[in-house]
A and B are shown apart, each in its own frame.
Chain A
Amino acid sequence: MITLDAVKVGDALPPLSYDVTSTTVVLGALAARDWRPMHHDYHFAVDRQGVKDIFLNSPNQGSWLERFVTDWTGPTGRLGRLRFKMRKPIFPGDTMVLEGTVRDVSVDDAGCGWVALDLTIRVGDVTCTESEARVAVPTSPEDNPWRRHGDDWKP
């Protein structure tokens, strides 16, 4: 578990590398209750959508990013906001690499500690997804962002 005082602008998160398979794509889509065929039907993806294979769906990419962030923060890290822009699909056979750096560290007027992160999902030299996250982390070992509600939570 990290606390805000241990985080500095420019810090790099430990990269995460993962070999994507058809199972990764299908499992991720079904876990998100996304039944659309381009995430499980090769012929639909190729013949109808004009891409080379089935590809990771949006919520599952978000879940990979969520995991990547909380691998770093530990369970007391609480995502406030996640934005991601998908520039290129991620296909079975790709090795995706998630990377991130700290862009900003701050404390809001309710006393909540925030870290702004720039994130990417890369395949080879190609950035497939660009992302920004705003994650709350404890300001001290006694603090817990999950206990914040209402006006004390400003994501």
Chain B
Amino acid sequence: MTDVKPSDPDLPGDVQALIGELQYEELGEFPVERGYFWTSAASVENGNPLFWDDAVADEVTEGPVAPLMLLSAWFRPHHWAPGRAVEKLPLQIHFDLKARFELPEAIMTENTTIFHEPVRPGDRITSAQRLVSVSEEQTRRLGTGRFWIIDVEYRNQRGELCGVERWEGFGYRRDDPPKDASSKDASSKDAR
């Protein structure tokens, strides 16, 4: 895992209280499907026969397995679903922090993933998020804001740990206002 930068000692109490707490435990919106294995492998021209040759997958991994870095795909919500009035966002803690600190922009700067049991077709993956730290406000090239670290745990339908991701993000406001900052369409839901 990444080194944890120390949290701001003067964090607001409501944010401080969330550090270390497991949040947003939820079941992925669909069973793991093999089409994504091929789409993902194709996107990086990955010819690993584990994903393309069933005989190799049977011999090496006792059947098909997902490309490992596809792990976060299983908890990313559909862009739209019936009855959903507000877009559902992945890594909700990240967006909660953007709103809480009024930081309209954000980027992800670092990812660490530890892989455990492979993900297989038909698995139902449950994810849960945990806020690890939030830095003091600081100014970088992109603007002024805060770094934060969020862990996401993934488990299959048997409760086996499939992996743990640690994301480091930087939420910020630009020192030079964006061209469309005054537009209502440029709402925070559209920023990462």
Q: Min CB distance, B134 to chain A, in Å? A: 19
Q: Is the CB of A70 within 8 A of B113?
A: no
Could you list 11 examples of A-B contacts with CB < 8 Å? Answer: A34-B90, A37-B190, A47-B178, A48-B186, A58-B111, A62-B69, A66-B67, A71-B46, A79-B115, A82-B68, A83-B111
Nearest B-chain residue to A44, judged by Cβ? B190
| Total residue contacts A-B, CB cutoff 8 A | 135
Q: Is the CB of B48 within 8 A of A31?
A: no
Given contacts A86-B109, A153-B116, contact A47 B142 (CB under 8 A): no
Chain A 59-91 interface residues, beta-carbon cutoff 8 Å to B: 59-60, 62-67, 70-71, 75-76, 78-86
Q: Is the CB of B48 within 8 A of A75?
A: yes
Q: Min CB distance, B25 to chain A, in Å? A: 19
Nearest A-chain residue to B76, judged by Cβ? A33
Selected contact of A67 from candidates B48, B62, B72, CB within 8 Å? B48
Given contacts A48-B191, A75-B60, A83-B110, contact A60 B115 (CB under 8 A): no
Q: Is the CB of A31 within 8 A of B36?
A: yes
Selected contact of B45 from candidates A37, A67, A144, CB within 8 Å? A67
A66 to B179, CA, bound (A): 37
A24 to B65, CA, bound (A): 23
A61 to B35, CA, bound (A): 20
B153 at the interface (CB under 8 A from A): no
Most A CB atoms within 10 A — which of B44, B67, B114?
B44
Residues of A at the B interface (CB closer than 8 Å) are 18, 24, 27-28, 30-38, 44, 47-50, 58-60, 62-67, 70-71, 75-76, 78-86, 144, 146-147, 149, 153, 155
Q: How many residues of B contact A (CB 8 A)?
A: 52
Top-3 shortest CB links A-B: A62-B69, A33-B76, A67-B46
Q: Is the CB of B180 within 8 A of A48?
A: yes
Q: Is the CB of A60 within 8 A of B44?
A: yes
Most B CB atoms within 10 A — which of A28, A66, A78, A146?
A66
19 additional A-B pairs beyond A63-B69, A76-B60, beta carbons within 8 Å, are A18-B45, A30-B43, A31-B36, A31-B42, A32-B70, A35-B76, A35-B79, A50-B105, A58-B108, A59-B72, A62-B69, A62-B111, A63-B43, A67-B41, A82-B113, A83-B111, A83-B112, A84-B110, A86-B110
B128 at the interface (CB under 8 A from A): no
Given contacts A50-B176, A66-B67, contact A31 B43 (CB under 8 A): yes
Q: Is the CB of B46 within 8 A of A66?
A: yes
Most B CB atoms within 10 A — which of A33, A63, A64, A86?
A33
